[in-house]
Amino acid sequence: MPGSGTLSLDPGTYRMVTLSVPAGLGGLPDAGTTAGITPELALSFDAKASITPFSLSELTEETLSAASVYTATLLPATSLLSLRVSGLPDEHSAKFTLLGMYASVGLDGTYAGSLDYPVSASGETVCFPTPGAATLSYSVDGGEPRSLPIGRALEASNRLTLELAWGEERQEIVIRQTTVTDWIPGNGGGEAGSAE
């Protein structure tokens, strides 16, 4: 049901979930259609779309009477990865990819799939969480990709900030500091998707 408003249902028991739907989020049927909707329905972003923040409530079973009110608490289904590289000479450029992050999330909140996703070399990138400790791949000046284990998982509603440094002697990028903080989309960093 796009937007806010009321929904008339006969008294009974229903499975309810609420989510924001930013541009590029695929997997949902057309408005007003329920065919094919299951708790495991995979929500992912179109291949040409950047991942943007979106939120999902816990899938609950609600028993409704004629006067019932359903209230949902939406929580971020995405996370934010922030990179800051220091010491890289101006004549060099670096490209980064987050390896093996989840590719989709179900209406039941279960993540699935695997996707290698490009991230900003000097800024913030909205991502899906990772199934375990995250790993970056990077290349300098288009050279051979190198692996950079982060040692921490990227989790929904978290901002993972990596302070990276260029080591001139070994010609490599190293992690100087890793910080994890809470992140609420629209409250600094990333761009909020429009809710429908």
* Confidence bin at 101 (pLDDT 50/70/90): very high
Count how many Cα atoms sit within 13 Å of the Cα of residue 48 in the half-sphere of its side chain: 0
- The model's pTM: 0.85
Higher-confidence residue of 82 and 23: namely: 82
Q: What is the largest distance, in Å, between two alpha-carbon atoms of the chain?
A: 72
Average pLDDT over residues 138-148: 94
In the predicted structure, residue 32 carries a pLDDT above the cut 90: no
Q: What is the CATH number of domain 78-182?
A: 2.60.40.2630
- DSSP 8-state secondary structure symbol assigned to residue 19: B
Q: Give the model's pLDDT for residue 1.
A: 54
Burial letters 140-149, b for 16+ CB under 10 A, else e = beeeeeeebe
How many helices (H) and strands (E) the chain has is answered by 0, 16
Q: Give the model's pLDDT for residue 181.
A: 93
Counting residues of the chain whose pLDDT is more than 70, the rounded percentage is 91
DSSP code per residue over 42-59: EEEE-TTSPP---EEEPP
Tokens of 81: 């990865």
In the predicted structure, residue 116 carries a pLDDT above the cut 70: yes
Q: Give the model's pLDDT for residue 187.
A: 57
| Contacts with 3 (C-beta within 8 Å, 6 or more apart), sequence order | 196
Higher-confidence residue of 86 and 9: namely: 86
